[in-house]
Structure 1
Amino acid sequence: MVVGWGRRSRYCGRASITGGVMQRREFLALIGVATAWSPLARAQQPKKVPHIGFLTTGSVEQTRTSMAAFHQGLRERGYIDGENIVVEFRAADSKVEQLPALASELVRLNPALIVAQNTLAARAVQQATKSIPVVVPVMGDPVEDGLVASIARPGGNITGLTFIGPQLVPKRLAQLKEALPMASRIAAIWHPAAYGKTTTQGMISGAESASKTVGVHLQLIAVQDPDGLGEAFSTLAGARADAVFLFPSPMFFIARKRIADLAAEHRLPLFAIGKEFVQLGALLSYGADIIDLNRLSTDYVDKILKGAKPGDLPVEQPTKYELFINLKTAKTLGIEVPAALLAHADGVIE
């Protein structure tokens, strides 16, 4: 073993022991011990660069904005990918069935931790490892989905942030009715595999109850994968829906441009959960800043790399929800957004 990056040891001169010449094997052993304990050698030991995994349900292109936010967060905490940290990226290209294999692939690399971008990715990683720390930037209901034991004390190898999307469904339906007081038929598009069974059922029950409260008929349309979006919009257009209500789902967020384009094509007001939809043409959105959650997740990465256990790090919940309105879309569709709703908007696109 070469110690001290090839520098000659100060012990490389004449050597002897009582009664004769030191054997070469003993001499080399002495050099090794002396060099290993010298301050210079210890200072020159190469620092181990941590490798972390990153698993996303989308493609590289679809995840570009989220990854930019994640790398920004790393830089803010002193990490530069390729220098003092290495990020092993794996993308499922919106093919959920590929997540288990990709998760197992990352686990075999034995990284310091794995970032599973959302609930879908986290559930795959959870099946692949119980020991490697896992950080999830965007969780729905982590307790009901079985990812953590509790918000305050996750207890296992998973922690991260929640955007509380499923719990916002009733409030978002009320906002829809406020924006479109004459609407009576609402088509709700949902993704059955987005969250666990309990979370999904609770979300649907909450939506159905809220629809009765605000006085609208809710038609649920399930979409299993991005290829089914076109058919779903054709169905709801044929049913003469007054608006499209989008349930939270990682798949929908990744396919947001396709969804916004379909809504515009069918001239339907779209209500989504992230401002990114409104920037692409949706009428209204309400929810946490999903892209920024990727940046904030690096705080967990930093703490875990410094020795913290994920089970001891509480799940972070949003402290602010943003209401965004696209007045350009409203004008195109002939919709007059109530002044009271506009007054509460955090962002307006004109």
Structure 2
Amino acid sequence: MNLNSVLKVIALSTVVLCTSLYAKPVYVATTAIVEHPALDAVRDGIKAVLNENGYTGDQLKFTYESAQGQPAIAAQIARKMVGDAPDVIVAIATPSAQAAVSASRDIPVVFSAVTDPVGAKLVPRLIQPGGNVTGLSDMVNVKQHLALIKEFVPNLKTVGVPYNPGEANSVAIVNALKEAAVEMGITIVESPAPKSSDVMIASKQLIGKVDAIYCPTDNTIISAFEAVVKVGIDAQVPVFAADTGSVERGAVAAVGYDYGDLGRQTGEIVIRILKGEKPGDIDVKMADGTSLFVNTTMAAKMGVKVPADVLARATQIIK
């Protein structure tokens, strides 16, 4: 190799080295309305997928902020994120997603764990939503949930639902519950809890009026879920949930999503955007996969027996 060739190789190597040293890392900014196990699992699943696709170490700037259950703080976080100009904003749960979509005009926004994206006015439609927003919906099969509760309480007539009427996702679930309940001869009794500190009172107000309590994927209720569990134990009223993570925290049973898996499904959408796809061209994804979790210890504490058929179908039994 002559001297000129050697110099060319050295120059090219220097350019490659400098590019790798000074290349701007991919910046993914994530936020959630509140910290609790289900939403934390979404965040962790997203980061795991990014890491598996080569976005690690110096190649990735990954930030996370919680709005501590306050929509006003969610709006502040969203405005700050837009000012920081990340490559993608990931907003977990409806209130944070609404704040991010309102704040961002051109930065891609990917939402996750949102029950009704159209009803929450995040996107105009699920198929090729257009604009700079797409994401993943965790809409649950409430009829399936009511059927599960009826297996535990065969003479089920009334189901109490504590929820935050200020959360669009919760309102959508309660409306779906009412519709499904009519077909099954069940009455839904609502008990509003606008703040986490209201959850205990809202749960107590259901006692004497309902045969069982059902907690939807409501961020306010889930953030104070142990309060509902205590009421259920004290009053001998079984508590059921829409997410499997709450079974580990004291619900009798749930048919629901593994929110770590939902995070991974969300992460795949983020990867597509990082590779050049436009958010508006990516269909909103409906979450895949459900599991049946049963907590036999809590069933006994709340005075119900776990049916043999339910135990046989259970994906996980918690004792």
Do the two structures share a fold, i.e. TM-score over 0.5?
Answer: yes
Match of 2:163 among 176, 179, 190: 190
Query: 1:345 Cα deviation (Å)?
Result: 2.5
Deviation per CA, 1:313-346: give whole Å up to 9, x if none: 2222233222222122222233122233333322
177, 181, 185: which one pairs with 2:154?
181
Q: Deviations over 1:298-323 (max 9, x none)?
A: 21222212211111122222332222
Preserved CA contact (<8 Å) 1:330 1:336: yes
Q: Distance in 2 between matches of 1:127 and 1:52?
A: 18
- Alignment partner, residue 113 of structure 1: 88
2:244 aligned with 1:275, yes or no?
yes
Q: 1:247-258 counterparts in 2 under 5 A?
A: 247-258=216-227
Show the counterpart of 1:30.
none
* 1:217 partnered with 2:193: no
Task: Pick one of 196, 203, 215 that aligns with 1:226.
Answer: 196
Q: Which has the larger radius of gyration?
A: 1
User: Does the Cα contact within 8 Å between 2:107 and 2:132 map onto a contact in 1?
Assistant: yes
Aligned to 2:55: 79
Q: How far apart in 1 are the matches of 2:231 and 2:303?
A: 18
1:47 aligns to 2:23 (yes or no): yes
Q: Secondary structure at the match of 2:31?
A: strand
Q: Specify whether residues 59 and 277 from structure 1 end up closer, same or farther in structure 2 by C-alpha distance, changes over 3 A only.
A: closer
Q: Could you tell me whether the CA contact under 8 Å between 1:264 and 1:281 is conserved in 2? A: no
Give distance in 2, aligned partners of 1:218 and 1:159.
32
| Corresponding residue to 1:315 among 284, 289, 314 | 284
TM-score for both structures, normalised by structure 2: 0.87
> 210-219 or 280-289: which moved more?
210-219
Aligned to 1:139: 114
Contact preservation (8 Å) 2:163, 2:220: no
Give, in angstroms, the shift of residue 142 of structure 1: 1.5
Match of residue 150 from structure 1: 125
Percent of aligned positions that are identical: 26
| Rounded Cα–Cα distance in structure 2 between residues aligned with 1:216 and 1:305 | 47
Give the alignment partner of residue 45 of structure 2, picking from 62, 69, 77.
Answer: 69
Q: Is the 2:49–2:264 contact (alpha carbons within 8 Å) kept by the matching residues of 1?
A: yes
TM-score by length of 1: 0.80
Q: Does 1:327 align with 2:302?
A: no
How many angstroms apart in 1 are the aligned matches of 2:127 and 2:151? 35
| Post-superposition offset of 1:118 | 1.6
Which amino acid letter does the alignment assign opposite residue 311 of structure 1? G
CA separation of 1:73 and 1:261: change in aligned 2, threshold 3 A: farther
Kindly indicate whether the alpha-carbon contact (under 8 Å) linking 1:242 and 1:268 is maintained by their aligned counterparts in 2: yes
CA RMSD of aligned residues (A): 2.7
Q: Relative to structure 1, is the Cα distance of residues 330 and 75 closer, same or farther in structure 2, using a 3 angstrom cutoff?
A: same
Q: Is the 8 A contact 2:41 2:263 kept in 1?
A: no
Q: Give the letter for the 2:188 counterpart.
A: L
Q: Which moved more, 1:114-123 or 1:175-184?
A: 175-184
More helix by share: 2
In 2, Cα distance between equivalents of 1:74 and 1:119: 23
Extract unaligned runs of 5+ from structure 1: 1-9, 11-34
Give runs of aligned pairs for residues 10-29 of structure 1, distance below 5 A.
none
Gaps of 5+ in 2: none
Q: Conserved in 2, the CA contact under 8 Å of 1:162 and 1:316?
A: yes
Is the contact between residue 232 and residue 302 of structure 2 (CA under 8 Å) also seen in structure 1? no
- 1:248 is displaced (CA, Å) by 2.3
1:297 partner SS = helix
Instruction: Specify which of 306, 315, 318 is matched with residue 346 of structure 1.
Output: 315
